């Protein structure tokens, strides 16, 4: 939360993307308080920032200023809070609760929530059954969660997200396919990474790039065979993705059952296994 130097007003900044040179793309709220040229300080820190550009989609580019003898992320950790979805009202005392146990890289604007179901003990139990567990990176952006508001889904524009497919993971997927096994993605983020690589390269290979892939019914999956995912919001691209994999009628039936049985939805909610 920044304090506007001119007026003392508070503005919330949600950092989305590191653009380099201490410049970040961010959501600012309320936006009218964060016009180009305005500057902000942060309580408990000598760090400051200034708004240098307002993008067409309303996002801001902000440049941070801080003592170069300090680590930016360490300073950010002191003054910032874990960004939680608006439907989570309780403040998390332990921010690691909104983090997967296998997370490594900084960069996501939100947690890949299907991964929240897994504990170290559960992963060990899965491995003990002979299942190979490998990892990919995709920095979740807000575009994944933005509702589809157009009449024709072909007019919906997905925001780009950065991904990395390690060689070890690519080799494991190819070996599994070769041996007739199943590739099961945990979460739509893993799914998007696998299918982005397959679409770009024609096969699963080591890759590092940006993707704006939009998966909806009619999409031909080339990498994964099954998916573990949460119950998502209606009118979202995520509903379309799972419908593309399992079929619209199957998904509608699953959601009707979930509502009837009072399943929990979204970040800390229930999950489904679909294929």
Residue 174's closest CA among 186, 161, 165?
165
Is residue 84 in a domain?
no
Is residue 89 in a domain?
no
Is residue 167 in a domain?
yes
Is residue 212 in a domain?
yes
Indicate whether 24 and 129 sit together in one domain.
no
How many CA within 13 A on the CB side of residue 118? Answer: 20
Confidence of residue 145 (pLDDT cuts 50, 70, 90): low
Is residue 86 in a domain?
no
pLDDT value for 111: 75
> 3-state class of 137 per DSSP?
strand
CATH number of residue 161's parent domain: 3.40.1780.10
Whether omega for the bond prior to residue 62 falls within 30 degrees of 0, making it cis, is no
Kindly give, in sequence order, each residue whose CB lies less than 8 Å from that of residue 107, ignoring residues fewer than 6 positions away: 18, 137, 139, 162
Indicate whether 54 and 145 sit together in one domain.
no
Angle at which helix 248-260 crosses helix 237-246, to 10 degrees, equals 120
Indicate whether 75 and 106 sit together in one domain.
no
CA distance 59 to 27: 5
Are 169 and 138 contacting, i.e. CB atoms less than 8 angstroms apart?
no
Indicate whether 141 and 252 sit together in one domain.
yes
Indicate whether 116 and 244 sit together in one domain.
yes
Instruction: Dump pLDDT digits (tens) for 202-249.
Output: 999 999 999 989 899 999 999 999 999 999 877 788 889 999 999 999
Show the domain range for 253: 95-274
Indicate whether 155 and 212 sit together in one domain.
yes
Instruction: Dump pLDDT digits (tens) for 123-136.
Output: 999 999 999 999 99
Calculate the alpha carbon distances from 72 to 12, 31, 65, 131, 190 in Å.
18, 24, 9, 39, 28
Is residue 224 in a domain?
yes
Indicate whether 101 and 214 sit together in one domain.
yes
Is residue 58 in a domain?
yes
- Return mean pLDDT, the chain: 88
Instruction: Dump pLDDT digits (tens) for 52-96.
Output: 999 888 889 999 999 888 888 888 888 888 777 777 777 777 777
CA distance 143 to 210: 13
Residue where a domain terminates, one of 52, 79, 106: 79
Q: Sheet of 226-230: strands edge to edge?
A: 184-186, 226-230, 271-274
Is residue 87 in a domain?
no
pTM: 0.78
CA distance 247 to 147: 20
**More confident position, 93 or 187:** 187
Indicate whether 57 and 102 sit together in one domain.
no
Indicate whether 238 and 118 sit together in one domain.
yes
Domain count, the chain: 2
Indicate whether 202 and 167 sit together in one domain.
yes
CATH number of residue 60's parent domain: 2.40.10.240
Residue where a domain terminates, one of 19, 48, 79: 79
CA distance 28 to 117: 31
Residue where a domain terminates, one of 79, 107, 135: 79
Indicate whether 72 and 128 sit together in one domain.
no
Indicate whether 7 and 104 sit together in one domain.
no
């Amino acid at each position: 939360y920044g304090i506007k130097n001119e007026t003392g007003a508070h503005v919330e900044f949600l950092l989305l993307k590191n653009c380099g040179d201490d410049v970040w793309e961010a959501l600012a709220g309320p936006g009218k308080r964060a016009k180009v040229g305005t500057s902000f300080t942060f309580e408990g820190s000598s760090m400051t920032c200034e708004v240098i550009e307002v993008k067409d989609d309303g996002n801001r580019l902000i440049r941070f200023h801080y003592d170069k003898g300090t680590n930016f992320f360490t300073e950010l950790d002191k003054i910032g809070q874990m960004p939680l979805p608006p439907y989570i009202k309780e403040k998390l005392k332990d921010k690691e609760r909104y983090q997967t146990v296998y997370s490594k890289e900084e960069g996501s604007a939100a947690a890949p929530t299907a991964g929240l179901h897994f504990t170290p003990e559960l992963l060990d139990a899965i491995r003990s059954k002979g299942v190979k567990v490998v990892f990919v990176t995709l920095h979740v952006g807000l575009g994944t969660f933005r509702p589809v508001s157009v009449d024709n889904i072909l007019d919906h524009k997905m925001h780009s997200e950065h991904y990395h497919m390690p060689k070890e993971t690519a080799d494991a997927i190819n070996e599994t396919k070769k041996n007739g096994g199943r590739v099961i993605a945990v979460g739509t983020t893993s799914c998007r990474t696998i299918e982005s690589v397959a679409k770009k390269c024609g096969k699963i290979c080591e890759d590092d790039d940006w993707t704006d892939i939009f998966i909806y019914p009619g999409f031909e999956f080339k990498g994964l065979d099954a998916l573990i995912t949460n119950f998502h919001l209606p009118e979202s691209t995520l509903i379309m993705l799972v419908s593309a994999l399992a079929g619209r009628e199957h998904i509608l039936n699953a959601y009707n059952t979930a509502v009837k049985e009072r399943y929990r939805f979204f970040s800390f909610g229930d999950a489904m296994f679909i294929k």
